[in-house]
Amino acid sequence: MARKKLVMVGNGMAGVRALEELLRLAPDRYDITVFGAEPCGHYNRIMLSPVLANEMDIDEIFTHHPRWYEEQGITLYTSKVVTKIDRQRQCVIADDGTEAHYDRLLLALGSLPRVLPISGNTLDGVTTYREVRDVHHIMNAARKHRRAVVIGGGLLGLEAAYGLSRHGMEVTVVHLNECVLDRQLDGKASRLLQQYLKHQGIEFLLSRQVAALEGRDRVESVRFDSGEQISADLVVMAAGIHPRIALAKEAGLHCKQGIVVDDCLQTFDPKIYAVGECVQHRGQVYGLVAPLYEQARVCANHLAEIGISRYEGSVLSTSLKVTGISLFSAGDFKGDESTREIVFFDVADSVYKKLVVKDDRLIGALLYGETNDSRWYLDLIRSSRSIAAIRENMVFGRVFCESDEVSFQNMDTDPNHDSAQTSWQ
Ligand SMILES: Cc1cc2nc3c(=O)[nH]c(=O)nc-3n(C[C@H](O)[C@H](O)[C@H](O)COP(=O)(O)OP(=O)(O)OC[C@H]3O[C@@H](n4cnc5c(N)ncnc54)[C@H](O)[C@@H]3O)c2cc1C
């Protein structure tokens, strides 16, 4: 059978995972061409944070060198940005004029970091945090300068702040809301986390709106809408992302917040598929790798023309890559009037666990300080099975629930948990 042509645009986490799955399922189905805007092979983007924190070397995060593509018979174009999809001629065109024809096109374009539309956002020393080149930029600045401000107290902002503090910089995290990581934690867990990070030397300015960045050529200060001002010679913007949809939109593909796909990851043009952060599926866009890997697996199945799997959405879970912190949240951990909460709080050891239950099903979990059972809670949430039989002990973890010898009463006298409170709320 003659090979078809597959072109993939975007050489990031979701795209490369889809390629790997496809090569496993149907290694000879396609002649594959990949366009990547970055000047390198493929790397594990989530490991940029350990690199920034000096816990890993940059070379360690490169997982697919150009040699790998060569060995798979894949044509890899690096430093080439695809600027046009010609759907009539079934080809893509890059910024340098390179063209590639396709029978199937896979868009895996990721997101663009949000740059705050404020004056001073193009000054030297102002950067986003998304790619290898951003990490080089930030690490160079950390060698020469002292005061860093990170805008955004989400996962990315806190990882950036931690990394910068490991370089000996004075770091202040500025966040719009009154709690950091407010999408992943509740107020109590957020305060525990903030306390820990303060001990690491990171300062916080919460409930603050940045009005402008000031300086001549290089940034010198951050001004808030209250008029308050703080000094800075490096500003890292970690204030959210936008799915990259411009290319698809210009080609007339249906886009909302992301490129709209069905359960097979097919766009409104049946020859074009899309995966990753650029995608909107059942109204949802994702910014974490686990759901993107699930999309990649299903998409590969369809590209391989097996066509039996469907992507139905993902239950999200989060953790933070800051040494010394164990943190996990998944599902609906905030709850509402229709849900019940099981809470365990060990003040002395800063261990906090909150489970949210609805109709005898676990629908959300938040763990701070001890996360050994995170996988188990995630499975309970995903499987949606009844937890009626283990509800009383569930907060103490899997081993406790599955052990016949240990009774609930024993736990109350456990010397390691003498300051623990467990309550239904
Ligand atoms: C520092 C950092 C830490 C993170 N940590 C975590 C974590 O711990 N856990 C987690 O779940 N998630 C984490 N994330 C998020 C995770 O990395 C993303 O969800 C994931 O990378 C998205 O994969 P993607 O393939 O959709 O996009 P990307 O990985 O961004 O890949 C898209 C690629 O497409 C390229 N591209 C875009 N447009 C074009 C074009 N027109 N032509 C050619 N190439 C193009 C881009 O340059 C990019 O290389 C982290 C992100 C960052 C930045």
| Residues 262, 245 within the same domain | yes
Q: 198 has which bridge partners? A: none
Residue position matching structure tokens 């943190």 = 327
Cα–Cα distance, 398 to 394 (Å, whole number): 7
Protein residues with CB under 6 Å of any ligand 1 atom: 9-15, 35-38, 45-46, 48-49, 81-82, 108-110, 129-130, 156, 244, 247, 276-277, 287-290, 292, 321
Gap from CA of 368 to ligand 1 centroid (Å): 27
Which one, of 312, 283, 248, 285, lies nearest residue 105 by Cα?
A: 248
Gap from CA of 409 to ligand 1 centroid (Å): 48
Distances (CA, A) of 319 to 133, 188, 326: 24, 16, 7
Distances (CA, A) of 280 to 70, 72, 274, 296, 377: 32, 30, 9, 14, 27
Domain assignment present for 383: yes
Residues 57-75 as b/e (b if ≥16 CB within 10 A, e otherwise) read: eeeebeebeeebbeeeebe
Write down which residue in 237, 262, 283 finishes a domain.
237
Helix (H) or strand (E) holding 48: helix 48-52
| Residues 22, 76 within the same domain | yes
| Residues 220, 360 within the same domain | no
Q: Following CA atoms 40, 116, 288, 254 in sequence, which dihedral angle do they give, to the nearest 10 degrees?
A: -90
Domain assignment present for 121: no
Boundaries of domain holding 415: 317-424
| Residues 321, 417 within the same domain | yes
| Residues 410, 337 within the same domain | yes
Cα–Cα distance, 296 to 305 (Å, whole number): 14
Domain assignment present for 310: no
Cα–Cα distance, 327 to 280 (Å, whole number): 27
Q: 210 has which bridge partners? A: 224
Cα–Cα distance, 190 to 196 (Å, whole number): 10
CB 237 within 8 A of CB 115: yes
The pLDDT value recorded for residue 417 is: 34
The pLDDT value recorded for residue 230 is: 97
Write down which residue in 237, 261, 281 finishes a domain.
237
Cα–Cα distance, 92 to 84 (Å, whole number): 6
Straight-line distance from the first to the last Cα atom of the chain, in angstroms, rounded to the nearest whole number: 63
Write the CATH number for 186: 3.50.50.60
In the chain, which stretches have pLDDT less than 70?
A: 403-425
Gap from CA of 288 to ligand 1 centroid (Å): 9
Ligand 1 pocket mutation, candidates 17, 105, 289, 293, criterion most atoms within 8 A of CB: 289
Residue 155: count other Cβ atoms within 10 Å of its Cβ. 23
Residue position matching structure tokens 């866009």 = 285
pTM: 0.92
Domain assignment present for 309: no
Cα–Cα distance, 217 to 224 (Å, whole number): 20
The pLDDT value recorded for residue 383 is: 93
| Residues 278, 226 within the same domain | no
Domain assignment present for 80: yes
| Residues 135, 278 within the same domain | no
| Residues 71, 26 within the same domain | yes
- Nearest-CA residue for ligand 1 atom 4 is 46
CB 209 within 8 A of CB 117: no
Phi/psi zone of residue 283: left (φ > 0), alpha (ψ -120 to 50 degrees), beta?
Answer: left
Gap from CA of 12 to ligand 1 centroid (Å): 6
Ligand 1 pocket mutation, candidates 19, 279, 288, criterion most atoms within 8 A of CB: 288
| Residues 375, 292 within the same domain | no
Write the CATH number for 419: 3.30.390.30
Residue 89: count other Cβ atoms within 10 Å of its Cβ. 11
Domain assignment present for 119: no
Ligand 1 pocket mutation, candidates 138, 277, 295, criterion most atoms within 8 A of CB: 277
Strand-pair category, 210-214 with 221-224: antiparallel
| Residues 183, 93 within the same domain | no
Write down which residue in 179, 213, 237 finishes a domain.
237
| Residues 103, 252 within the same domain | yes
| Residues 260, 403 within the same domain | no
Domain assignment present for 257: yes
CA 418 to chain centre: 37
How many domains are there within the chain? 3
Cα–Cα distance, 371 to 373 (Å, whole number): 5
Domain assignment present for 284: yes
Backbone angles phi and psi of 362, in degrees to 5: -80, 125
**Dihedral sign, CA of 23, 29, 34, 40?**
positive
**Residue 45 alpha carbon, nearest atom of ligand 1:** 17
